[in-house]
């Protein structure tokens, strides 16, 4: 019987040997980390890696992405830590999600230094626009017509609840859908979502059915409200690069940044 956890660890070892990198952090980033996988969901394995110091001094540096495997079971790829830190400066939501994934395949002591810096670069307006754009785009793509693939409701509900979390707490939203539901989902719509979750956990495909009227009403109302709020939310200036530069350099010195 296939041992996926062991296979993932073997793949990570293989990446380190072949690419001459050190994996600092590796997590699950897909539906498994959101807490609503189907029985046949693949594994979205994402990692952050560090190259040897001289690689960052090369006038022709290597790619800052490693795309290792993509098949029906494993989807494995990673970012150079320098890429991650540059995206963190821009408050890229993917950085916050990988940092908070509840499923960690591997982590190194150096990651703790990076993890401590990450929250300082979260910007409310950027987070709102990201998740609102995701929710609106998925609603247009998947929730139109006389028949709707029921699993697609989660690809709209999760970013809506993430927006609500950001507004209420001014922090990056958690990955787990259950945590977002508990904190942000209106009680009257909860039984409908609970039923969908139960069905999704038992079958590979929920199939297409007529639209669920209460869910559509909830989604439409939320998208309209969130769009107005996001437009009125003030942006704040970027923090400077100082903390990111220090943490990057500390990865080679072995000394934590002061």
How do residues 137-177 score in pLDDT, each as one tens digit?
Answer: 999 999 998 988 888 899 999 999 999 999 999 999 999 99
Please check whether residue 258 lies inside any domain of the structure. Answer: no
β-pair type (43-51, 21-28): antiparallel
pTM for this predicted structure: 0.91
pLDDT at 256 over 60: no
State how far the alpha carbon of 126 is from the alpha carbons of 78, 91, 130, 166, 205, in Å.
23, 7, 6, 10, 33
Asked if 74 and 149 sit in the same domain, the reply is: no
Please check whether residue 196 lies inside any domain of the structure. Answer: yes
pLDDT at 10: 97
pLDDT at 225: 97
Please check whether residue 110 lies inside any domain of the structure. Answer: yes
Determine the Cα–Cα distance for residues 39 and 202; give it in Å rounded to an integer.
Answer: 7
CATH number for position 113: 3.30.460.10
Position 255 confidence tier, pLDDT thresholds 50, 70, 90: low
Convert the pLDDT of each residue in 113-139 to its tens digit: 999 999 999 999 999 999 999 999 999
Asked if 54 and 91 sit in the same domain, the reply is: yes
Asked if 228 and 245 sit in the same domain, the reply is: no
Determine the Cα–Cα distance for residues 236 and 215; give it in Å rounded to an integer.
Answer: 34
Please check whether residue 104 lies inside any domain of the structure. Answer: yes
* Number of domains the chain contains: 2
Asked if 188 and 110 sit in the same domain, the reply is: no
131, 162 contact by CB (below 8 A)? yes
Q: Which domain does 155 fall in, by range? A: 124-232
Please check whether residue 166 lies inside any domain of the structure. Answer: yes
Asked if 15 and 115 sit in the same domain, the reply is: yes
Q: Where are the alpha helices (DSSP H) in the chain?
A: 4-19, 31-34, 81-89, 93-100, 109-117, 124-142, 154-169, 177-184, 190-200, 213-232, 242-253
Asked if 54 and 89 sit in the same domain, the reply is: yes
Please check whether residue 129 lies inside any domain of the structure. Answer: yes
Asked if 154 and 63 sit in the same domain, the reply is: no
Asked if 39 and 137 sit in the same domain, the reply is: no
Convert the pLDDT of each residue in 11-61 to its tens digit: 999 999 999 999 999 999 988 999 888 777 899 999 999 999 999 998 988
pLDDT at 74 over 80: yes
Convert the pLDDT of each residue in 222-254 to its tens digit: 999 999 999 999 988 888 999 999 999 999 986
């Amino acid at each position: 019987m296939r041992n996926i956890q062991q296979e993932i660890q073997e793949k990570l070892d293989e990446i380190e040997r072949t690419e001459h990198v050190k994996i600092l952090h590796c997590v699950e980033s897909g539906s498994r980390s959101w807490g609503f996988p189907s029985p046949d969901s693949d594994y979205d394995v994402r990692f952050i890696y560090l190259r040897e110091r001289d690689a960052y001094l090369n006038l022709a540096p290597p790619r800052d992405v490693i795309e290792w495997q993509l098949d029906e079971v494993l989807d494995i790829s990673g970012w150079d830590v320098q890429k991650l830190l540059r995206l963190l400066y821009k408050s890229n939501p993917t950085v916050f999600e990988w940092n908070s994934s509840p499923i960690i395949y591997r982590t190194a002591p150096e990651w703790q230094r990076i993890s401590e810096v990450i929250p300082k670069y979260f910007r409310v307006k950027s987070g709102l626009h990201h998740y609102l754009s995701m929710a609106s785009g998925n609603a247009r793509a998947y929730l139109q017509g006389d028949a709707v693939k029921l699993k697609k409701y989660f690809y709209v509900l999760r970013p809506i609840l993430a927006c609500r979390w950001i507004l209420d707490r001014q922090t990056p939203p958690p990955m787990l859908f259950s945590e977002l539901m508990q904190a942000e989902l209106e009680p009257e719509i909860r039984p409908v979502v609970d039923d969908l979750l139960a069905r999704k956990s038992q079958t590979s495909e929920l199939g297409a059915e007529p639209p669920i009227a209460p869910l559509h009403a909830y989604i439409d109302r939320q998208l309209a409200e969130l769009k107005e709020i996001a437009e009125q939310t003030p942006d704040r200036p970027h923090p400077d690069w100082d903390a990111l530069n220090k943490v990057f350099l500390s990865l080679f010195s072995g000394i934590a940044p002061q």
